[in-house]
């Protein structure tokens, strides 16, 4: 059997990418469908290649291989369903449109909640002067996630971004116009999804609800084609859990005077004592803003 990753699923057929970077079209064995754990994009599977096959057939045949086994998932995102996503890349542009640090924190809270790594990519560096960039960098210092300054236009930082994506399955998120597609295209021309990649035969399948797709990167790793989380509310989050989703707070967990300190107005709060030093002022403001949002929501129910 060969191991591979499902990069596309439609109408009961799966495109499976192997380590040799070949794509096989497969169906799933009956028991895999029944097992209440229907296969999804991102799943790592073991499959039997077609008998007497001379290798993968570039999407010519619909039933090249049979998926026999699902390798247990590390993680699973919903809507769209994608298994084994490793990280979230938050893409913001430094100008046009301007950055929104609160949105960045919001996305990172969601990444933490889903157990994903996160990185912040600041694009369109070509549009800001060095002074302004220094100012922004000091505002974001310290920051609990890796920051990559880049420009899809002039190529700055693309090596670092490529390194950050290598070997991982990444979801891109960020405001429209920040440069997500431009960055992907600059990293690997031709990568961005063109509709119609699902073969005609598959399209004629009965159930053609399209799922997210994985775009394999030549340098290893992949990107999920539906960029970003679809819901931006801090859905089903309890206020008391929010602090655990700010990794820079972790060093102070249990250090505050009150055991159930929410780090808002309580006296001798370790988080607030480190504001402006180990704890970034902006990040703390986002925390208290989200706390407020979550508490208000709780009152409604
Ligand atoms: P998306 O909505 O996040 O996918 O953003 P796009 O990739 O479509 O980019 C939005 C606009 O920003 C386009 O007009 C791009 O040409 C432009 N753009 C993207 N990256 C850069 C960059 O690094 N510098 C500059 N000056 N413009 C960029
Ligand atoms: Zn506290």
In angstroms, the CA 205 to CA 185 distance is: 31
The whole-number pLDDT of residue 138 equals 96
Contact 16, 64 (CB under 8 A): no
pLDDT tens for 248-291 read 999 999 999 999 999 999 999 999 999 999 999 999 999 999 99
pLDDT by residue (tens digit) across 50-76?
A: 876 555 555 554 457 999 999 999 988
Q: Which two tokens stand for residue 293?
A: 């949002």
Q: Which residue has the higher pLDDT, 155 or 23?
A: 155
Q: Which ligand is nearest to the CA of 156?
A: 1
**pLDDT given at position 33:** 67
Domain presence at residue 258: yes
Query: Is residue 232 situated within a structural domain?
Result: no
Query: Which of ligand 1's atoms lies nearest the C-alpha of 184?
Result: 7
Domain CATH code at residue 60 = 2.40.50.140
Q: How far is CA 105 from CA 39, 245, 283, in A?
A: 32, 10, 7
Per-residue pLDDT reduced to its tens digit, 12-41: 889 999 988 888 999 998 877 665 568 999
Among 193, 225, 257, residue at a domain's last position: 225
Nearest-CA residue for atom 17 of ligand 1: 179
Pocket probe for ligand 1: among 133, 174, 182, 188, the residue whose CB has the most ligand atoms within 8 Å is: 182
- Same domain for 9 and 84, yes or no, is no
Q: Is 151 in the pocket of ligand 1 (CB under 6 A)?
A: yes
Instruction: Report the atom number in ligand 1 closest to the C-alpha of 172.
Output: 3
Which of 176, 192, 225 is at the close of a domain? 225
How far away, in angstroms, is 225 Cα from ligand 1 center? 17
Q: Which domain holds residue 272?
A: 239-300
233 found inside a domain = no
Q: Whose CA is nearest to atom 22 of ligand 1?
A: 124
- The pTM score is 0.86
* pLDDT score for 106: 93
* End position of a domain, from candidates 194, 225, 256: 225
Over its C-alpha atoms, the chain yields an Rg (Å, rounded) of 22
Is the same domain home to 122 and 198?
Answer: yes
Domain count, the chain: 3
Q: Which two tokens stand for residue 222?
A: 């992949």
Substitution site in 89, 104, 125, 152 for ligand 1 pocket (most atoms within 8 Å of beta carbon): 152
| 128 plus 191 within the same structural domain | yes
pLDDT at 10: 84
Per-residue pLDDT reduced to its tens digit, 173-209: 888 899 998 999 999 988 765 433 344 444 444 444 4
């Amino acid at each position: 059997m060969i191991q591979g990753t499902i990069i596309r699923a439609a109408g009961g057929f799966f495109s499976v990418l192997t380590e040799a970077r070949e794509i096989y079209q497969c169906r799933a064995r009956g028991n895999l469908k029944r097992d209440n754990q229907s296969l999804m994009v991102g799943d790592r599977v073991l499959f039997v290649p077609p008998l007497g096959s001379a290798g993968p057939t570039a999407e010519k045949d619909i039933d090249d291989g049979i998926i026999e086994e699902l390798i247990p998932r590390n993680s699973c995102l919903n809507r769209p369903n994608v298994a084994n996503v490793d990280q979230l890349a938050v893409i913001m542009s430094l100008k046009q449109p301007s950055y929104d640090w609160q949105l960045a924190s919001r996305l990172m809270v969601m990444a933490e909640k889903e157990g994903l790594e996160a990185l912040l990519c600041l694009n369109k560096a070509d549009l800001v002067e060095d002074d302004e960039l220094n100012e922004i960098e000091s505002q974001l210092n310290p920051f609990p996630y890796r920051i990559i300054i880049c420009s899809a236009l002039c190529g700055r930082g693309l090596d670092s971004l490529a390194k950050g994506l290598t070997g991982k399955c990444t979801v891109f998120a960020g405001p429209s116009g920040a440069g997500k597609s431009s960055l992907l295209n600059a990293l690997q021309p031709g990568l961005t999804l063109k509709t119609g990649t699902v073969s005609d035969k598959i399209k004629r399948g009965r159930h053609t609800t399209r799922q997210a797709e994985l775009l394999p990167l030549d340098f290893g790793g992949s990107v999920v084609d539906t960029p970003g989380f679809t819901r931006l509310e801090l859905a089903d989050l309890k206020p008391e859990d929010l602090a655990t989703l700010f990794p820079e707070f972790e060093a102070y967990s249990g250090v505050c005077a009150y055991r159930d300190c929410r780090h808002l107005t309580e006296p001798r709060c370790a988080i607030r004592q480190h504001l402006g030093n180990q704890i970034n002022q902006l990040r703390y403001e986002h925390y208290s803003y989200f706390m407020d949002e979550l508490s208000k929501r709780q009152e409604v129910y």
